[in-house]
Chains A and B, each alone.
Chain A
Amino acid sequence: MIIDARQITDRELRGSIAIIGGGAAGITLALELGKQFKDVLLLESGGLDLEPDTQKLYDGDVIGHDTAALETARLRFFGGTTNHWEGKCAPLDAIDFERLLGRPYSGWPFTLDELIPFYKRAYSYCEIGPFRTTSAIVDRAQAAVKQMAESPDLVATEFRYSPPTRFGERYRADLRASDNIKVCLHANVIDIAVADGGREVASVAVQTLSGVKFQVKAAAFILCCGGIENPRILLNCNRFFPQGIGNQNGLVGRFFMDHYEVYGASIVPDHENFNYEPLAYHYEGATRASVALMNPPDVVRREGRAGCSVIMDLEFNVSEQLQKAQKSAAYRAFQQLARNARMGGVGHALATQGCTALGDLGSIATILSDRAMAALGHKAGLKSITLRLEGEQLPNPDSRVELIDGVDALGMRKCGLDWKVPADDRNNLYQTALTLAKAVGATGFGRMVMPMKSVDDDSTIGTSFHHMGTTRMHGDPKQGVVDRNCAIHGLANFYVAGSSVFPTCGRVNPTLSIVTLAIRLADYLKTKVNA
């Protein structure tokens, strides 16, 4: 069921497990735990839609490398940041879990193999088709990639695209219908009470923006509010531990990572008769998939580099009329309707999208006639390939989330994000781009324009809105905030879910792995906590 904390009159709510945060991790945990426990509580700060006053609770300062404002980089309502998720999915690479020579802070407490069974289940939550270890679209693209870029240091890889699954919308009906799960909206956790000499959490204090206050008691608590808010809450709750919960070694908030996103690179081809089809988007059933390039594990090992993906968007020589049609709202609505139809549904905005599409049938007809001509063999020439680099950030203790002066409407201290972009990471992006530029020249396919002027140029390096690493996982409490089971070191019943536990972030988008780790944690809690 779904309730509103503003209507609660009781001083106390009780449950077997209390989940704090209703994003991808929190909703997955609720759905999984609801299969076994009869009283799962999911505390969500926001409502079902964006509310400015609640969103303002995310306000904070950007201290380090320029990045998106903290208030806009994430969303604080039911479904969390999946409400503006692009949907790009791929599992982490095996090398991301390895402890690499000469790479401090590398490695997870387990290998990729341990996560595979959970990835299989996460694919279903993210609606990206069945899990496979091979990729048909990568196999199909090999010849085109070889024709375009000749280098053993770049290989093809696959990304799949979720519809994207807006977790708050997609699973709302299931949560509402469940007798075992109670979703409590507008419930902000403002304090965590520690008991048993600091060895377990007894309760959390909840407050709404309207002033309603109550306690939540549970056998286990899971914090899943994202890579910035998780450390902020832990650092703010300092009544028992002056330095904050889980922060006995000063690690909470440190090792902040984001995926570097670098625009501005493109390849201009010399060849007009290049068969670009294998590099374009493909559908496998209802799932969109695309080919990207990546630096393979042996390059990462041999050169001590981080992971990096190169996303390719094909641009064609098309008429002005067609360009205009492709950008029209009518065509976008038509695309959405077609996507919904492929997935066997009509979507929740059928009427709006239908009216928008009908409002400009000329644009849709222009595109469809172009498609028909393409099907008959008349294809537009490839104008360029726009490139986007998505690079791994190596763990760095100086890159961090920290509390700053000033409090929010609930009296909690705001946080600042000191994002560092060190030379090694810049070099990785630059070298990956340069490798591709050389490879494209070596085949005679064309020439490439670089996204960065030099290794020192960080002006084009931006955020991917992936906030990771701030409560990192490690078996040793001196090197990590949570253990291999996502329990905060030293606390028996307090867990953290989400990308804040990632010790390394690899090169791929985190949502699929967030859901995977949430399923793994749920399975663990099913054996650990008595129903």
Chain B
Amino acid sequence: MNRWTRRGLLIGGIVVALPVAAIAGGKLFCAVRPPKSRVSLLQSYFPATEATDTLGAQYLEQSGSSALASLQRLERQAHIMRAAESGCRISTMSAFEQACRDDFRAGRVGCIDGWVLSQTELDVVAVCGAG
């Protein structure tokens, strides 16, 4: 029992608390802000342009939604994210186009400045443009 000195307990506490704080802080950070790596990954396939910026901003304003909600929807599309993480541009674009076609078939569309776009496209411009 006398092996646990005050210094030992303090160091042990710090050793345990630091990772817990790091994990909790990370979770908290991720909860309030999109993880930069995913956004960067998507942006590498769909680089922000004036058009995506404008469309993204209009979509967010019109829908009252957030870039985070769009990112979460995109993350749920596992086939797009898996393809993006694989680094294969062709697979990623193919998965993206398939998701857009599925959206149009299912009626998941939005109208921005007269253009009828799929929900996936709107999410991409929201994250990569205005996000």
Contacts and interface: CB of A to CB of B under 8 A. Distances in A.
Contacts, number: 43
Contacts of B101: 441-444
Contacts of B115: 447-450
Contacts of B104: 438-442
B118 A441 contact: yes
A442 B105 contact: yes
Interface residues of A, number: 17
A438 to B, nearest CB: 5
Given A447-B117, A449-B115, A438 B100 contact: no
Contact of A448 (B97, B103, B105, B116): B116
B69 interface: no
A438 B104 CA distance: 5
Contacts of B103: 441
A35 interface: no
A434 B114 contact: no
A441 B97 contact: no
A441 B114 contact: no
B100 A434 contact: no
Dominant SS among interface residues on chain B: mixed
A453 interface: yes
A450 B105 contact: no
Contacts of B100: 441, 444
Contacts of B105: 150, 438, 442
B109 interface: yes
Among B97, B116, B118, the most chain A Cβ lie within 10 Å of the Cβ of B116
Interface in A80-118: none
Interface string B114-128: 111110000000000
A440 B105 CA distance: 10
Interface in A414-463: 434, 437-444, 447-451, 453
A438 B97 contact: no
14 contacts: A150-B105, A434-B109, A434-B116, A437-B109, A437-B116, A438-B116, A441-B104, A441-B117, A442-B101, A444-B101, A447-B116, A449-B115, A450-B111, A451-B114
Interface of A: 150, 264, 434, 437-444, 447-451, 453
Given A150-B105, A441-B104, A450-B111, 13 more contacts: A434-B116, A438-B107, A438-B109, A438-B116, A441-B118, A442-B101, A443-B101, A444-B97, A444-B100, A444-B101, A447-B116, A447-B117, A451-B114
